[in-house]
Amino acid sequence: MKVKKMLKNSLIIVPFQLPWDRPADFQRQTCLELAKKNLVVAYLHNDARFFLKPRPVKKLPKHRNLIFYQPRYIIPLRRLTLIEKLNQLLNLWYLLVRYGRGRERSILWLFDPAFWFYPRLKSVFAKLISLYDCVDYVWHRSTSMKKKLQAQEKQLIKNVDYFFVNSQVLAKLHSPTRQPTAIMPQGFRLKDFKKPKPAKVKFLQNKPIIGYVGALDHRLDFKLLQKLIKNNPQWLFVLWGPVREEGPAILEKTKKAVDKIRALPNIIIGKSTDRREVPSIIKQFDVCIIPYDTKLASVRYSYPMKLFEYFYLGKPVVSAPLPALASFKSVIRPKNTANEWQSQIKKLLNSPWPTKNKRVQRQLATANSWKQKIATISDTIKK
């Protein structure tokens, strides 16, 4: 097997808009993996303040080689677009000057299209590398905002030195703008699953358990779930994760949908305060599900991280027919209607899941660890 060349002794700046402890933790896991051999600066964009105003006090964890940076703006009137951009670039310039000296290289590791103009710093720092780590379809509930974000994403894709995606679906979507540098592994918390924390909750085993882990949000097909749960009282359904949305209106709508399902007698809805116990929750499931609403564009282009959590534990999976999962049909059963879901779950419960399938799933999960993802990107850059 070819040895991948890992990045080391580099300064890596990762701009954030999403919270550090968000359930979909691709930014956090990326930073932690990179910080093993590099100095990583988590640039907390949403905490930016004018230098005369007090900065918000945030309780953030301490990790070796990881710095949390709350930007300080020096030019007033940041409501003006040009001023806002200039303040951001000045903060990045400061970080590159302060921490970049003596480093093998400096890298802007970008996830968000809102930072599309950051690669312009290369005109000042010739050795600066920029990359776009594209992990999902850019989407917004507002049509005008969605168009704006997608236009920014195109600019980012064109301007960065390296452009990575995590699925063939995203590669095809963006190919008219630019062919990706490489398709990378998805990213999976292998370490947490090798040494899981015992679960505080133990489900009764008097019924087969059909389970889902992850955020309870607009991506879920609540009509499908309602029908499936109601029509199958012989099974216990578990939805394990926080109710989460971006915005109060949609949050209220999702809460109502969750409460409607919660009223059914054969459902448990809960969440873990420590994500390390999630493996011990999944172990109790007989069949794992990904009941997404494929009518949404944001879902059709998605590639759920939870897939490899299910895979590592060798669980049979029934999923909505997501294009990104088409290559896993030997170990996933994609279905559309509630009747198809019901029929497939019955089949899986009545037949032992083959050891061969479990072995293939474990190999796929290991190949998609965060370490493998970072190694793939590192190897490309080092070449």
Residue 57 has what pLDDT? 74
Do 213 and 359 lie in one domain? The reply is yes
Coil, helix or strand for 218?
coil
125 is a domain residue: yes
Residues of the chain with pLDDT under 50: 1
Residue 2 has what pLDDT? 57
279 is a domain residue: yes
Do 344 and 372 lie in one domain? The reply is no
Give me the domain span that covers residue 165. 10-187+368-382
Do 320 and 295 lie in one domain? The reply is yes
For 68-121, write each residue's pLDDT tens digit. Answer: 999 999 999 888 999 999 999 999 999 999 999 889 899 999 999 999 999 999
207 is a domain residue: yes
3 is a domain residue: no
Do 167 and 238 lie in one domain? The reply is no
Do 345 and 377 lie in one domain? The reply is no
Provide the sign of the torsion angle of the four alpha carbons 183, 212, 232, 338, taken in this order: negative
257 is a domain residue: yes
Do 337 and 310 lie in one domain? The reply is yes
148 is a domain residue: yes
Q: How many domains is the chain built from?
A: 2
Residue 1 has what pLDDT? 46
Do 115 and 29 lie in one domain? The reply is yes
2 is a domain residue: no
CA 254 from centre of chain: 20
Do 58 and 22 lie in one domain? The reply is yes
Task: Give the domain CATH number at 275.
Answer: 3.40.50.2000
Specify which residues 14 forms β-bridges with: 42
Q: Which position has the token pair 């168009």?
A: 147
Specify which residues 44 forms β-bridges with: 16
Do 151 and 239 lie in one domain? The reply is no
Do 154 and 206 lie in one domain? The reply is no
What is the token pair recorded at 27?
């930014």
Do 41 and 171 lie in one domain? The reply is yes
